[in-house]
Structure 1
Amino acid sequence: MCDEVRWEVVLTDPGDRVLEVVQVVRRLTGLSLWRSKELTARSPAVVLHEVPEETATAAALALREAGAGAEARKLG
């Protein structure tokens, strides 16, 4: 069992530049364009789950830079 603390990235608000956010979600998750758009529309939504802190922080930053509201949250 791994003792490393895991994180998740939550998209809290897609913002005004939804297309840019969808593209970032697609890049981060590897989902199809359609699935990425669907996930973005369901915000708040978990974009990444059980990832290292560095990955979560970078992903949240990328989403915020695209105009979204996003946060990295420590699990458990």
Structure 2
Amino acid sequence: MTLYATLVCDNVDHDLVLHDVGPSPMEVAKAFRSMSGLGLWWAKQAVTAAPPVRLLEEIDERDARRFAGILCAAGAWATAEPVVLAGRG
């Protein structure tokens, strides 16, 4: 028997998802480096992985939207997506 529950809360965590790095991957890597604290090589490896890439997981919605805006300003297509809890059965 599978049980499903709906969790209702005010502050749902979000993931920062990079869908496309855009025309300037180095600028996106520099932007991600500034928000994550990673070295430039690691940041470039993260943003050039096969999309979509979850760059940051389970962070505050405000931070996720702000970081997505920073990446979009660098030329990428990034979104802040709510964390979905999968039913276990």
Instruction: Using structure 1 for the length normalisation, give the TM-score.
Output: 0.90
Structure showing greater radius of gyration is 2
Task: Encode CA deviations 1:25-76: one digit per residue, 9 max, x unaligned.
Answer: 1111111111101001103211111111100000001100100010100002
The answer for the alignment partner of 1:55 in structure 2 is 63
Aligned residues: 75
Aligned counterparts, 1:15-30, within 5 A: 15-30=22-37
Over the aligned positions, Cα root-mean-square deviation in angstroms equals 1.5
The answer for the alignment partner of 2:21 in structure 1 is 14
2:22 partner letter:
G
Unaligned runs of 5+ in 2: 1-9, 85-89
Which aligned runs of 4 or more in structure 1 are off by greater than 6 angstroms? Answer: none
